[in-house]
Amino acid sequence: MIKNYQSDKHFRALYDFCVIGGGPAGITLALRLAGHGWRVVLAEGGGLEYTERSQALYRAKSTGRDAYVEASRQRYLGGTSNHWAGRCRPFDPSDFADPPRGGLPGWPIHFIEIDRYLPEAKRILDLPQDSDFKAVNTAIQGEDFIADRFLLSPPTRFAEKYAKELRETEGLDVFINCNCVDLEFDSRTKRLSAAVVSDYDRRRGKIIASNYILAMGAVENARQLLNSNSLASGGVIHKNGFAGCCFMEHLNVDLGSFILKEGSDSSTRQYYTSDTFIRKHRTGKGNATFSIVEQVKSYGRTAAIKDFFKNLACNTGFADKVKFVARFDCPGDGDIGTLIEQFPNRASRISLLNETDELGVRKANVHWEISPEDIRTIKTIGIEVAKRFADSGLGYVKLNESIYGDSSTLAVHPHAHHMGTTRMTATPTHGVVDENCKVFNTDNLYVAGSSIFSRGGACNPTMPILQLALRLVDYLHRHTSK
């Protein structure tokens, strides 16, 4: 059933699992656990559709580079799958074998631990089982870059696809407009004793369960842990600990422009750093996409006006004269974009403000930083892929000056892939959850989603999020007593 939360009188006296957050990870966990015969409650803070009131609870302050964390998330059932584009690429073995640059450890598990769940993740994302991740072009000269490979989900909208199952699965209760506002931890038993929830009129109640799973996204997972006074007084969350630390994004950098050699195929080319490249240059991974602009596109309420003036500038040949006012590309221009890995960095983090939202939860402060190792990765990928493109006789590349010169003007934008704020590690010295996604120093609190990523690689996170969620379902089913 799906019910609108108004009071806790509709909750069962005790659930086996309480899943907080109704995005891809939360919906997958709730349906799979209930399918195994467990009593499960799924608490989603938003409703069945987008509302400004729900979305306002995502408002956060930014004190570093702007990661646009409010605009890039969707706060209603289905989560960010409601506007996901559908690109799927799996992690590589080297993502788990090699530690990140910067001194922090990488994944405490082996690649096979999530690779075994790839077929099921493909089914969930409506990808054909007999389709491999296909290269989108041929590789360029040398061994440093390979043709990138991926598949496109329709894309799967989780609330729509699983609407019937969410309503009818036996043993599963789904509550919308059910906002988690506190986590109550008993330091004597090392167990979470309740999740305090609220509707928008501040009617509060408690969900009592044997086990709790946070699946709210990288910003909100950290925010909930940091907001709990009992977790702090119980020694689970420390002021100088890792909860909220190592906020990572994928780096979207305009490397420059290119001109294709006459007669060359004008289709989009996507190149991916090889393992040879990252070990030789001691950098992170990345994708570089060479694409020809087909049409001017603008966004927002003034999109039509912007398109008119941009096309006028392009058609009259004055685009280069007005780019000092607004940077854009005209049809036929060659643009080079990226999706580059960011290394975990303690200074890049989620913290809490004293200001609270309308439900009384302290608001998040997002301090997104890129490190010298990240800048080195960006510059190295940009310079080397430009060399290989030219060496392969494909055309001519003009890199932006910030790529080969002074990096103080380097423009880095986010891809809306929030990761790393409750990272998985072997010990609490460098992270928040253990190899089984359980919060250190607790016996029944787990975290799911990309916040547990030890490193982000250079692939879109939705598919590995599901692989890790499926792995967590198996662990919980095997190790929980009925």
Helix count and strand count (H, E) for the chain? 15, 23
- Is the preceding peptide bond at 24 cis, omega within 30 degrees of 0? no
Residue 299 has pLDDT above 50, yes or no: no
Which DSSP category does 407 fall into? G
Q: Is residue 292 part of a domain?
A: no
412 located within any domain? no
C-alpha 19/C-alpha 400 separation (Å) is 46
Portion of the chain with pLDDT greater than 70, in percent: 91
Residue 9 falls within a domain, yes or no?
Answer: yes
Residue 445: inside a domain, yes or no? yes
Judge whether residue 301 has pLDDT over 90.
no
Backbone CA torsion sign across 246, 84, 468, 375: negative
Distances (CA, A) of 261 to 93, 271, 426: 36, 18, 51
What is the number of structural domains in the chain? Answer: 1
Q: Is residue 101 part of a domain?
A: yes
pLDDT score, position 318: 47
Phi, psi for residue 423 in degrees, rounded to 5: -60, 150
We report the CATH number of the domain holding residue 221 as 3.50.50.60
Strand-strand pairing, 134-135 and 362-367: unpaired
Sheet holding 179-186, edge to edge: 179-186, 191-198, 204-207
What pLDDT was estimated at residue 324?
Answer: 36
The DSSP 8-state label assigned to residue 433 in this structure reads B
Strand, coil or helix: what is 84? coil
Strand, helix or coil at 147?
Answer: strand
In a domain? residue 146: no
Give residue 136's pLDDT.
78
Residue 238 lies inside a defined structural domain of this protein:
yes
pTM for the structure as a whole: 0.92
8 A C-beta contact, residue 270 and residue 140: no
pLDDT band at residue 408 under the 50/70/90 scheme: confident
Instruction: Please give the helix or strand (H or E) that residue 233 lies within, else none.
Output: helix 229-233
Is 134 a member of any domain?
A: no
Q: Say if residue 57's pLDDT is above 50.
A: yes
**Torsions phi, psi for 275 (to 5 deg):** -60, -35
When pLDDT is averaged across residues 144-168 and rounded to a whole number, the result is: 96
Asked if pLDDT for residue 331 goes beyond 70, the answer is no
CA distance 459 to 340: 9
Contact assessment for residue 16 and residue 480, using Cβ atoms and an 8 Å cutoff: yes
Across all residues in the chain, what is the average pLDDT? 91
> What does the pLDDT average to over 92-102?
95
Tell me which of 407 and 431 has the higher pLDDT. Answer: 431
- Any residues with CB less than 8 A from the CB of 262 and at least 6 apart, and which? none
**Segments forming the whole domain that contains residue 25:** 2-127+154-250+340-370+418-479
The DSSP output letter for 60 is -
Amino acid 294: pLDDT: 54
